[in-house]
Amino acid sequence: MPSIEKIRKALLGNNIDSDKINQLLGDDMNTKDINAIADSIRRLEKAFTHDETVDILSNCACCIGGQRNKDCRQFAKVNKDKALSEKVNLLSTVKWMGNPVLYTDGTIYTGIYGKENDIYKCPCWCLKGKLPNEPMSLTYCACCAGHFRYHYQNALGVKLKIKEIVSSALNSVGEKPCEFIYEIIED
């Protein structure tokens, strides 16, 4: 989840003035209130372009170290001589890396399809079952898209840009899965 503290750090990293950050995020850096975070996301969306907001939030990605990082780096070593299409197909064998698909236009599509009682669940471990009072903006999910981008870049050996956040469990109130499209910006 893009916590207020992580968003604040990302904004500082983009040389945003502290006063503006306080206007956007408020004073409580440790809030875990999903509705307060949703309000902050809406203020970010008004203050920055869509691409800027996605960039800020994608840099708040969690779980980029640890075992997932080790597994993706090992995958890269083992598969370094394979074609990109083969690597993308094999990436689903790495735990927690989804089922990516390389489209003919060169984009990579992936998603998270966990359901409970026929409702898609948000995989954000920080939410702990909490839902906002209204559908969350798709932009919120740039954090999770940043998580996959980080690991896919390491595993595939290509630089990726988030092209689109197609859908999310939070935005659709459980009717749709979390789905992302990435474009390769260099091989």
85 and 54 in a single domain? The answer is no
Rounded to whole angstroms, how far apart are CA atoms 20 and 44? 10
* 50 and 108 co-located in one domain: no
Q: Which residues contact 18 (CB under 8 A, 6 or more apart)?
A: 12
Reference 8, options 20, 27, 21; nearest CA is 21
pTM: 0.90
Question: Same domain, yes or no, for 87 and 147?
Answer: yes
Residue 45 has pLDDT above 70, yes or no: yes
- Report residue 141 CA to chain centroid gap: 5
Q: Are residues 87 and 37 in the same domain?
A: no
Q: What is the mean pLDDT of residues 34-47?
A: 88
Please state, in angstroms and rounded to a whole number, the distance separating the CA atoms of residues 124 and 143.
Answer: 9
Judge if 95 and 44 occupy the same domain: no
pLDDT top residue among 94 and 61: 94
Closest CA to 151 of 41, 35, 70, 48: 70
- Higher-scoring residue by pLDDT: 16, 32: 16
Domain boundary among 58, 78, 93: 58
Percentage of residues in the chain having pLDDT higher than 90: 60
Rounded mean pLDDT, 72-87: 98
pLDDT band at 116 (very low <50, low <70, confident <90, very high): confident
Q: For the chain, what is the mean pLDDT? A: 90
Q: Which of 58, 79, 97 is the last residue of a domain?
A: 58
Are 176 and 135 in a shared domain?
yes
* Helix H or strand E segment including 151: helix 142-156
> How many structural domains are present in the chain?
2
- Provide the residue type at 71 as one letter: D
pLDDT at 135 over 90: no
Instruction: State which residues form the domain around 49.
Output: 4-58
Predicted confidence at residue 20, as pLDDT, reads 92
Task: Copy the structure tokens of residue 175.
Answer: 């009717």
CA-to-CA distance for 95 and 35, rounded, in angstroms? Answer: 31
Mean pLDDT of 8-25: 90
Is the pLDDT at 28 greater than 80? The verdict is no
Are residues 73 and 93 located together in one domain of the fold? yes
Q: Does residue 34 share a domain with residue 96? A: no
Going by pLDDT thresholds of 50, 70 and 90, the confidence category of residue 136 is confident
13 and 88 together in one domain:
no
DSSP string for residues in 30-60? T---HHHHHHHHHHHHHHS-HHHHHHHHHTT
User: Which residue has better confidence, 183 or 121?
Assistant: 183
Q: 38 with 113, same domain? A: no
Tell whether 109 and 167 lie within a shared domain: yes
Q: Are 62 and 127 within 8 A, CB to CB? A: no
Same domain, 116 and 49: no
